Structure 1
Amino acid sequence: MPPHSGPSIIISEPIPDFPQLFTWDEIAVRTGRGHGTSGKDRWLVIDRKVYDISKFCLVHPGGKRVISHYAGQDATDAFVAFHNDKALVKKYLKPLLIGELAPDQPTSEPGKNKLLVEDFRELRATVERMGLLQPKHFFFFLIFLHILVLDAASWLTVWYFGSSLVPFLVGLALFTTAQIQVSWFQHDLGHFSVFRETKWNRLLHIFLMGVVKGAPASWWNHLHNQHHAKPNCFCKDPDLNMHPFFFSLGKTLSVELGKKKKKFMPYNHQHKYFSFLAPLVLIPFFQLTVIHFTSKRKKWLELFLIVTFNIRICLMYTPLMGFQSTMVYYWLARYLESHWFVWVSQMNHIPMNIAYDKNDDWVSTQLQATCNVDQSWFNDWFTGHLNFQIEHHLFPTMPRHNYWKVAPLVESLCAKHGIEYKSKCLLTAFVDILRSLKDYGELWLEAYLHG
């Protein structure tokens, strides 16, 4: 089958006069997880070109794991989704090129939905022509300004009214809101959707995460890029790392745990303890992981900025309410923020398909793992526009203010191919988390008792 006749989606690399030709069977075994010499190879395909990433994955700017998750697979649409500046990455691709797919090999791997892939690539070309990947700087300036206002208001409330119960709680609410809105804004920067140039996104991301949030940007990128590459895929999506120590997620894995008689927690009650345990566990997990990550990888600048953040908080609040009350103020805010983050981040994923990587095409992989929450000005603000999770996962570098524009096009694509485009109200999305956890827990218990 000849290459697809749709629009060119990346900058083509030069092929030698007599390129080495490969079949999908040869590529599929180069995952880095096999036996023998070839079993340690990592190859992937981008626009019918075959690249050897065995060594490059160790220095990949996006991290070793995110690119390795596509070893042995077609990474064309993932590559396009993650990289806006194709000219920038061309220099990395050229020395990795080892050949191309043989003429008799299909453009997509056998078993893929060829028509869906082609239609999505047409949609991607339409998105680019419409300018939907171009950010509006004034929009993000207002986002940043309102974060600064919230942060300042939290301090001014305590400074002016004192640290009695009411101003303490009002200041706490303002500080918590500022911190979660920083989380949504740094998420934009991490996806390179605030500025057109990658370097400005990187620089502001490092500064904002360190000084305003107290976390390393590189740590967030390391984890979150993997999530986007293979959402809801066990062993590849780090957002599932709490499984199976605290929760049993997904139908397949719940049955598997039950049959293996694994019981780290009473999973049949996980829908009852999720609301308390999940936000609580994230706090020490994040704090310890941040220190370990920056120290192990020698991210000294980011570690310095984290220390600066903690000094800033102490200098701002300790003179007003004392060290002990400042610690209560800070850690209570972190717990409330963790609640906010957990419910918003999981409402689009836990109720969806959770399983091992099946090497589906990019569109199917994202749609199986995501759903939307209905649009409203409150939902957009409250979730940082992550209520448009489907569009965000299909186009991760798209500025969030354009999600609503592409949503009808994505919905039409789904309707054409008979794929359910799920969107629900915010409260239903929260309830569905608990409902799904209850179902998974019951499947685990049944397999545990009778499997």
Structure 2
Amino acid sequence: MTREPPGCRRWNSLMLYTFRSITSHRSSCPERCATSSHDAFRAFHRDLDFVRKFMKPLLIGELAPEEPSQDHGKNSQIMEDFRALRKAAEDMNLFKSNHLFFLLLLAHILVMESIAWFTIFYFGNGWIPTVITAFVLATSQAQAGWLQHDYGHLSVYKKSSWNHVVHKFIIGHLKGASANWWNHRHFQHHAKPNIFNKDPDVNMLHVFVLGESQPIEYGKKKLKYLPYNHQHEYFFLVGPPLLIPVYFQYQIIMTMIVRRDWVDLAWALSYYTRFFVTYTPFYGVLGAVVFLNFIRFLESHWFVWVTQMNHIVMEIDHEPFRDWFSSQLAATCNVEQSFFNDWFSGHLNFQIEHHLFPTMPRHNFHKVAPLVKSLCAKHGIQYQEKPLLRALQDIIRSLRKSGKLWLDAYLHK
């Protein structure tokens, strides 16, 4: 049995979703295709020579010229201009990372971990030191989440293997999660953001109805798994509090076991071992379990509000078969730049630039943003950017709007 080359498992998982947009194969190498699949392929891969080695077995055939193609309605001028924009970004060295920047991010996470332990060690395990420590650890966990995101997107080192190793360390040893689980889920989202049945982030398991088409579809079919007209209210009970400590935690552990992902499981166990060795002497085993879940409860609020403010308020629908640039702009919006907003969101306030250039180091997003705005202005595409508070409020507004659409369709259509 042939061993997969380094990074091949992640690459195969990614390619499955990248190639969903390919409908007319004109070459065995998508990066040379005239279709918009070129842009999706180029966005995710730093080392084209490496991934090109695995292309031929994936070629399942070629469409005859008279066969219908899903690319026919895509704007060729936008695709051409976007590729020129990417070339300009490459010429400006915007895909080159500042290693000191990422080292300092890691350092400040480790400093917070140390401060948390020292607080309990010095002040004891009373309520006030415990709550303070929980907030410090929740902050370090949130920041570790943003940092693993950078390495998962291969945006730090030129060599993919180096990114993979550090990614496993941060998401596994610092967070107790799985790199492969994250890759499999997150790159589906990037390939088809806000597309039902393709983006897992909008697969809400009937808990919420999102966008404008799904609420009406559910309403017409008289589907009522929950009272969706109140989803903007029960969001506070089932969204931010439960996503990480309940849903993600269960899904991550089960995924590693079912898929026999023993490497990621070992990394995750190293996190739990370290945590319980550190805090069991202060709280006991049961107390440490409660403490851990309280930390994740706090982190979950942070994670949900930041990740949803850029997507849930945008267009959510079935596949429209747009070009890469237009599809990312339709599904993402930005939050205004400030030192706090950059740190608080891990630079995901530049969600538009991140989705257009997933392998670009986050510290360069503000440099490419003017070029993206200019291209949007040229083609009349809306570039949405808003203050942080308004972005958070828009989450609730969008849920309320979708709930009203569902209720109206449920009662009257």
What TM-score, normalized by structure 2, do the two folds share?
0.91
* CA shift for structure 1 position 411: 0.4
Q: CA–CA distance in 1 between the matches of 2:267 and 2:129? A: 29
| Correspondent of 1:338 among 293, 300, 303 | 300
Instruction: Please give the per-residue CA displacement for 1:398-421, whole angstroms capped at 9, x wherever unaligned.
Output: 000000000011000001111111
Where does residue 241 of structure 2 map in the other structure? 280
Quote the residue 1:252 is aligned against.
213
Correspondence for 1:269? 230
Pairing 1:312-327 to 2, within 5 Å after superposition = 312-327=274-289
Which protein has the bigger helix share?
Answer: 2
How many residues align? The count is 394
User: Structure 2 unaligned runs (5+)?
Assistant: 1-7, 25-34
Q: CA distance change for structure 1 residues 108 and 414 in 2, over 3 Å: closer, same or farther?
A: farther
Shift of 1:64: 6.4
Contact 2:18/2:41 (8 A) holds in 1: no
Q: Find out whether 1:61 has 2:12 as its counterpart.
A: yes
Give yes or no for the alignment of 1:216 onto 2:178: yes
* Higher-RCO chain (CA-CA 8 Å, sequence separation at least 6): 2
- 2:345 pairs, out of 375, 379, 383, with 383
Structure 2 counterpart of 1:124: 86
In the alignment, the residues of structure 1 paired with residue 46 and residue 69 of structure 2 have an alpha-carbon distance, to the nearest angstrom, of 22
| SS of residue paired to 2:146 | helix
- Structure 1: 5+ residue stretches without partners: 1-56
Q: Name the SS for the 2:214 alignment partner.
A: helix
Q: Which residue identity lines up with residue 206 of structure 1 in the other structure?
A: K
| Contact preservation (8 Å) 1:214, 1:307 | yes
CA 1:127/1:99 → structure 2, altered by over 3 Å: closer, same or farther? Answer: farther
Name the structure 2 match of 1:307: 269
1:60 CA drift (Å): 5.0
1:415 aligns with 2:366: no
Counterparts in 2 of 1:25-174, with a 5 A limit? 60-63=11-14, 65-72=16-23, 74=35, 75-97=37-59, 109-174=71-136
Deviation string 1:174-210 (CA, Å, 9 cap, x unpaired) is 1000000000000001100111110000111112211
The letter for the 2-side match of 1:247 is F
Deviation at 1:302, TM superposition (A): 0.9
* CA distance, structure 2, for counterparts of residue 64 and residue 411 of structure 1: 29
1:429 CA drift (Å): 0.2
TM-score, scaled relative to structure 1: 0.84
Question: Are 1:69 and 1:236, in contact at CA under 8 Å, matched by a contact in 2?
Answer: no
Matched, 1:442 2:404: yes
- CA contact under 8 A between 1:248 and 1:440: conserved in structure 2? yes
User: CA, structure 1 residues 99+328, in 2 after alignment: closer, same or farther (shift >3 Å)?
Assistant: closer
Task: Tell me the SS of whatever aligns to 1:355.
Answer: coil
SS in 2 for 1:182: helix
- Report the Cα distance in structure 2 between the residues aligned to 1:378 and 1:425, rounded to whole angstroms: 12
Specify whether residues 63 and 393 from structure 1 end up closer, same or farther in structure 2 by C-alpha distance, changes over 3 A only.
closer
Q: Contact 2:10/2:180 (CA < 8 Å) preserved in 1?
A: no
Question: What do you get for the CA RMSD once the two structures are aligned?
Answer: 2.1
Residue 159 of structure 2: aligned partner: 197
Q: Distance in 2 between matches of 1:135 and 1:64?
A: 24
- Are the counterparts in 1 of residues 342 and 348 from structure 2 also a CA contact under 8 Å? yes
Higher mean alpha-carbon deviation, 325-334 vs 135-144, is at 325-334
**Cα distance in 1, alignment partners of residues 232 and 58 from structure 2:** 47
State the structure with more CA Rg. Answer: 1
Q: Residues 141 and 175 of structure 2 are in contact (CA less than 8 Å); yes or no, is this contact kept in structure 1?
A: yes
- Cα distance in structure 2, aligned partners of 1:104 and 1:444: 41
Report the CA distance between 1:67 and its aligned residue: 3.6
**Whole-angstrom distance in 2 between the partners of 1:68 and 1:107:** 14
Shift of the 64–167 alpha-carbon distance from structure 1 to 2, 3 Å rule, reads same
For the residues of structure 2 that align with 1:68 and 1:296, how far apart are their CA atoms? 26
Please identify, of 283-292 and 437-446, the stretch whose mean Cα deviation from structure 2 is larger: 283-292
Contact 1:209 1:217 in 2 (8 A): yes
Residues 385-408 of structure 1 deviation map (CA, whole Å, 9 limit, x = unaligned): 000000000001100000000001
Contact 1:391 1:407 in 2 (8 A): yes
Q: Retained in 1: the 8 A contact 2:332–2:351?
A: yes
